[in-house]
């Protein structure tokens, strides 16, 4: 029996998981979430976690290896977190935590590895397709930004490759989309709009503002208060989350502006997922990760808005109808991937 350490490191929160490894079987021994800014560095956080794990469970032990998924760029096993003062280096972490090795990977790379370890109840199938185990696997996930990546099978395993596809150009598909593009260009005084500006949490708010400012749908007093508060707090710490509020109102079906916002968002999300699928032909499966899809599953599945946009690719539409499409429901898929990476170090 050996022990491994997996981490999901973000500017706001850090989740650590101690895992026992018996052959290829991984089992969670202890897990806890922390507020990242409460610690000056990752080392004292891990030390506190391991001490508590030892007190809480008799199964705990000193981990041999660790893999940390970082919400930010990783270069040569080092990373400087965007919203923290932490400067992380795998070699230093291994030395100070008495590990054989410590690997830093991008959080979306961890998700890529994690999707292959999911159980049936961890995903919701949107399109069954015709799975091909030797074909590429694609991953896309809208949250704070828009992550994308892909996996290529290699000798019975898979290699994850990162992508910055979320920063490719937003592609309007209707007159309303073209109006949204012009609205965002003028609003931000910039020369181009990326897909991420539309298909993300910030994109939900941008679509709402566009539909509101164009008078396409009436704004309710409740949502108006939330969005106006958020707009007034520009450049400050936010006290409200308008994207979450808009989606919650849309889920209830009681606010026409929220419903139209989320329909437009889901359609743009499906179209961008289809663009990724056209480039990769991922008959091994396309996984929709990120918090937005799982939290808004009824909006993703209702009326086939997502799938209609996904497969609406002209002469290539038939190709996409055979691609398995699955929504990732397990919010800890990144931790699962990090633990798997630690086991394979």
Contact call for residues 255 and 226 (beta carbons, < 8 A): no
Options 3.40.50.300, 3.40.47.40, 3.30.420.40, 3.40.50.800; CATH of 2-118+330-344: 3.30.420.40
CA distance linking residue 19 with residue 63, whole number of Å = 8
CA distance linking residue 53 with residue 61, whole number of Å = 8
How do the domains of the chain map onto residue ranges?
2-118+330-344, 165-328
Low-confidence ranges of the chain (pLDDT < 70): 58-60
pLDDT digits (tens, 9 = 90+) for 71-110: 888 999 999 887 788 999 999 999 999 999 999 998 889 9
CA proximity to 320, closest of 274, 285, 288: 274
CA distance linking residue 190 with residue 172, whole number of Å = 17
Q: Which CATH number does 165-328 carry?
A: 3.40.367.20
Helix axis angle for 175-188 and 256-280, nearest 10°, is: 100
Number of Cβ within a 10 Å radius of residue 233: 12
Structure confidence at residue 125 (pLDDT): 96
Q: What share of the chain is helix, strand, coil (3-state, %, to 5)?
A: 45, 25, 30
Q: How far is CA 280 from CA 148, 160, 310, 320, in A?
A: 12, 13, 14, 11
CA proximity to 138, closest of 252, 232, 127: 127
DSSP codes, 194-261: BGGGTSSHHHHHHHHHHHHHTTSSPPPHHHHHHHHHHHHTTTS--S--HHHHHHHHHHHT--HHHHHH
> Could you tell me the two tokens for 119?
């159980």
CA distance linking residue 78 with residue 295, whole number of Å = 32
CA distance linking residue 345 with residue 343, whole number of Å = 6
Question: Are both 2-118+330-344 and 165-328 of the same fold?
Answer: no
> Could you tell me the two tokens for 51?
């001490």
Structure confidence at residue 126 (pLDDT): 96
> Could you tell me the two tokens for 251?
């889920």
For the whole model, what pTM was predicted? 0.91
In which region does residue 168 sit, left (phi positive, over 0), alpha (psi from -120 to 50) or beta (all else)? beta
Let me know if 10 is exposed, middle or buried by CB neighbors in 10 A (0-12, 13-18, 19+): buried
CA distance linking residue 88 with residue 72, whole number of Å = 11
Let me know if 43 is exposed, middle or buried by CB neighbors in 10 A (0-12, 13-18, 19+): middle
Contact call for residues 266 and 305 (beta carbons, < 8 A): yes
Strand 2-9 and strand 65-70: the pairing is parallel
The SS3 call for residue 321 is helix
């Amino acid at each position: 029996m050996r022990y491994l350490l997996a981490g999901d490191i973000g500017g706001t929160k850090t989740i650590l998981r101690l895992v026992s490894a018996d052959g290829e079987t991984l089992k969670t021994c202890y897990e806890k979430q922390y507020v990242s800014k409460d610690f000056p560095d990752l080392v004292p956080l891990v030390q506190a976690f391991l001490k508590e794990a030892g007190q809480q469970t008799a199964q705990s032990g000193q981990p041999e290896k660790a893999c940390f998924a970082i919400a930010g760029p990783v270069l040569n096993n080092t990373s400087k977190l965007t919203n923290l003062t932490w400067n992380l280096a795998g070699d230093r972490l291994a030395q100070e935590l008495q590990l054989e090795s410590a690997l830093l990977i991008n959080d979306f790379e961890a998700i890529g590895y994690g999707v292959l370890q999911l159980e049936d109840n961890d995903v919701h199938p949107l399109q069954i397709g015709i799975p091909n185990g030797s074909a590429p696997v694609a991953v896309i996930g809208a949250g704070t930004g828009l992550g994308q990546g892909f996996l290529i099978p290699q000798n019975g395993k898979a290699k994850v490759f990162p992508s910055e596809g979320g920063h490719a150009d937003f592609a309007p598909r209707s007159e309303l989309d073209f109006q949204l593009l012009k609205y965002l260009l003028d609003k931000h005084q910039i020369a181009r709009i990326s897909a991420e500006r539309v298909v993300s949490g910030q994109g939900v708010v941008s679509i709402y503002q566009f539909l509101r400012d164009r008078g396409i749908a009436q704004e309710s007093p409740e949502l108006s208060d939330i969005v106006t508060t958020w707009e007034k707090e520009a450049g400050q710490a936010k006290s409200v989350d308008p994207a979450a509020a808009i989606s919650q109102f849309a889920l209830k079906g009681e606010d026409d502006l929220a419903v139209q916002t989320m329909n437009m968002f889901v359609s743009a999300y499906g179209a961008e997922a289809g663009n990724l699928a056209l480039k990769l032909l991922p008959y091994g499966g396309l996984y929709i990760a990120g918090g937005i899809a799982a939290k808004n599953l009824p909006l993703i599945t209702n009326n086939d808005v997502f799938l209609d946009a996904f497969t609406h690719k002209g002469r290539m539409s038939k190709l996409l109808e055979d691609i398995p499409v699955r929504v990732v429901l397990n919010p800890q898929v990144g931790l699962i991937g990090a633990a798997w990476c630690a086991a394979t170090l």
